[in-house]
């Protein structure tokens, strides 16, 4: 990797560790962008930009202009909401020399739409929780015993853990299906929850690294405490999954261990909020990503040390008020 590489981190927010890891990997200049000047990561970057919110039409052009004007080599979206506006820009960014760490647009849409993902899993024999989007079908299955309470509810399209819930009876289902959002309901999974960081070659999509974490505690929708895990069966599950699904770069996979094997919950095609757990234990996907961008591809990323606990904690950055 050349020492003059420039990297732009989007929706920088609290992603201080990502910026630190980029520097440790030898990146010369790290630029951060966010819609809020109170995003902590802005103040550990070499420079920063305040950009429109990613849900506005001005967002993608603003990011494009930063990359073009700054000569950015690698642009890293970090939020689900970043992905859809940028997915169609991969080739345009590449034409002026910026690699956008983003999966193909159809894969971004697949990951964002939980019903499409369920249908994809059924079509490709990927184990996943039984899911209903039609109330009549669900009522029929409840009556026949093919479905039973409690059930898990979530919006078809959402980010993080927004508006998720548990349905314990028909009255709960009435409220869920009366929502202004399009909702679906899944069988309730009571197995052990796993969060798997995966690195997929930017060019071929081949799996270059897998690091599973057993979730020990969640906080605000993300893994707070985890146990680094190693299981050949889980590795095979991930290899099979991404032989059928065309994703690129760093992605995060949520799944459950059940008595019959692993079951896919969702794919988040970006750095997980708990990526630091993997990195600190030795699974350096930043290095693999930078090698891909610079043309020095790594065959395989070392996995983290199994049976280590990864425990997150909070810190503070002070920034003087400019007003």
Helix (H, G, I), strand (E, B) or coil at 81: helix
Do 69 and 47 contact (CB within 8 A), yes or no?
A: no
pLDDT at residue number 323: 61
Element (H, E) at 248: none
Say what the alpha-carbon torsion angle 97, 103, 105, 106 is, to the nearest 10 degrees: 150
Do 218 and 224 contact (CB within 8 A), yes or no?
A: yes
Residue among 260, 234, 263, 233 nearest 126 (CA): 263
pLDDT at residue number 161: 65
Per-residue model confidence as pLDDT tens for the chain (323 residues):
445 899 999 999 999 999 999 999 999 999 999 999 999 999 999 999 999 999 999 999 999 999 999 999 999 999 999 999 999 899 999 999 999 999 999 999 999 999 999 999 999 999 999 999 999 999 999 999 999 999 999 999 976 667 889 999 999 999 999 999 999 999 999 899 999 999 999 999 999 999 999 999 887 667 889 999 889 999 999 999 999 999 999 999 999 999 999 999 999 999 998 999 999 999 999 999 999 999 887 788 877 778 888 888 888 888 876 66
E strands within 1-77?
6-9, 29-34, 47-50, 74-76
């Amino acid at each position: 990797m050349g020492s003059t590489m420039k990297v732009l981190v989007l929706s920088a927010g609290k992603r201080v560790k990502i910026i630190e890891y980029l520097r440790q990997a030898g990146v010369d200049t790290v630029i951060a962008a966010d819609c809020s000047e109170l995003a902590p990561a802005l103040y550990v970057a070499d420079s920063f930009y305040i950009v429109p919110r990613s849900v506005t039409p001005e967002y993608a052009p603003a990011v494009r202009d930063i990359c073009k004007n700054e000569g950015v080599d690698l642009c890293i979206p970090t939020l689900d909401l970043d992905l859809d506006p940028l997915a169609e820009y991969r080739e345009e960014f590449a034409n002026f020399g910026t690699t956008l760490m983003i999966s193909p647009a159809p894969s971004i849409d697949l990951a964002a739409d939980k019903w499409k993902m369920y249908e994809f899993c059924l079509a490709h024999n990927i184990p996943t929780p039984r899911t209903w989007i039609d109330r009549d079908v669900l009522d029929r299955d409840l009556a026949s015993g093919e479905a039973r309470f409690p059930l898990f509810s979530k919006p078809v399209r959402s980010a993080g853990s927004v508006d998720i819930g548990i349905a314990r009876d028909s009255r709960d289902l009435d409220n869920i299906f009366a929502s202004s959002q399009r909702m679906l309901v899944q069988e309730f999974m009571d197995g052990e929850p796993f969060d798997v960081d995966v690195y997929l070659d930017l060019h071929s999509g081949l799996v270059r690294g897998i690091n599973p974490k057993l979730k020990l505690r969640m906080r605000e929708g993300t893994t707070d405490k985890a146990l680094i895990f190693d299981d050949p069966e889980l590795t095979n599950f991930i290899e099979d999954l991404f032989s059928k699904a065309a994703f690129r770069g760093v992605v995060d996979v949520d799944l459950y261990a059940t008595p019959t094997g692993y079951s896919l919950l969702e794919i988040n095609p970006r750095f997980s909020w708990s990526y630091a757990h993997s990195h600190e234990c030795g699974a350096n996907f930043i290095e693999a990503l930078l090698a891909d961008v610079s043309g020095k591809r790594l065959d395989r990323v070392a996995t983290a040390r199994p049976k280590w606990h990864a425990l997150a904690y909070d810190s503070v950055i002070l920034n003087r008020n400019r007003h």
